[in-house]
Amino acid sequence: GINNFSVYPNPFSETTTLRITDSRITNYELTIYNVFGQEVYNEIIRNSPFVISRGNLLQGVYFCKVTGENFSKAKKLVILK
């Protein structure tokens, strides 16, 4: 399974980088939720590191979830102005 994933910088304004420290992962799903639990971003990722752009996301707190075959982990994301 996944040992760890990091998102840096966090908080961020324009982009942040997602890194997964498990070289065996080939496909995983990245989902970002707002504080109300609504999905605001979803993508299948095939490589790490992966750059996340804020796109049309507003300033605030989000939750970034990475899901693979046998794991699921989440981290808080903070988007600045």
Per DSSP, which regions of 2-59 are E strands?
A: 5-8, 15-20, 28-34, 39-45, 50-53
CB 63, CB 75: distance < 8 Å: yes
pLDDT at 24: 67
pLDDT in tens, 17-76: 999 877 666 788 999 999 999 999 999 998 889 999 999 999 999 999 999 877 789 999
Please name the amino acid found at residue 18. Answer: L
pLDDT at 11: 98
pTM to 2 decimals?
0.89
